[in-house]
Amino acid sequence: MREQSPSKIGIVISGASGSLLALQALRILKALTNKNPTLSSHLIITQGARRTAELELNASQRVELTALADHIYDDNNLTATFASGSNPLSGLLVVPCSIRSLSAIAYSQTDRLSIRAADVMLKERRPLVLAVRETPFHAGHLQAMQLITQMGGIIAPPVPAFYLAPKSIDELAEQSAARLLALLGLDMGNWLKQWQPPSSD
């Protein structure tokens, strides 16, 4: 059941390529939590995500990645509060989402906090958004996505909105991140640019 006003937003960064997407999502979420003291961010960075971040982000960006969240959890900590359905997150975004994480969520392989948290979202009927980063897909990938969709999750590959004519990779990633966070029920306000047809004048 979706809350009227989301309060605890979870972000999982998995080992897929796309560390910048996670960074932009955390930047937006930090701005939102600064404006709304009842909103908090809860971050899990998988071991694979740390390795990928070392390849894709510079040193200051990697520091920022962990500094932006209100709370950070070890992926091996299955005693975290939101590992229980009695104290779930308001919504969870996995960005980027690797095929390994996608498959583990689809088949309830809950040996890590990141996967257990996603499983809790599904069983408690809370918003779960997976920004799957892979291409092309084979039948096994698609079957896992179908399973998660049937269970109530949202599969949202971060497809760029080129029609908005982004001027930089950062702007492109920011728009993708805003769209993903909006799927959790958050009000993106000016963060999210919307399509406007050309004027006929």
Residue positions in the annotated binding site?
Answer: 15-17, 46, 98-101, 133, 163, 179
Instruction: Please report, in angstroms and rounded to a whole number, the separation of the first and last CA atoms in the chain.
Output: 46
- Residues annotated as binding site for FMN? 15-17, 46, 98-101, 133
Q: Coil, helix or strand for 198?
A: coil
Alpha-helix residue ranges (DSSP H) falling in the chain: 19-35, 47-56, 59-67, 99-106, 113-123, 139-150, 169-182
Q: Please, which residues bridge with residue 71 across strands?
A: 42
Torsion of CA 148, 154, 155, 158, to 10 degrees: -160
Q: Coil, helix or strand for 187?
A: coil
Q: Coil, helix or strand for 132?
A: strand
Residue of 48, 44, 55, 46 whose CA lies nearest to 81: 44
- Residues annotated as binding site for dimethylallyl phosphate? 163, 179
Residue with tokens 């257990």: 116
Write the DSSP assignment of 143-178 as a string of letters.
HHHHHHHHTT-EE------GGG--SSHHHHHHHHHH
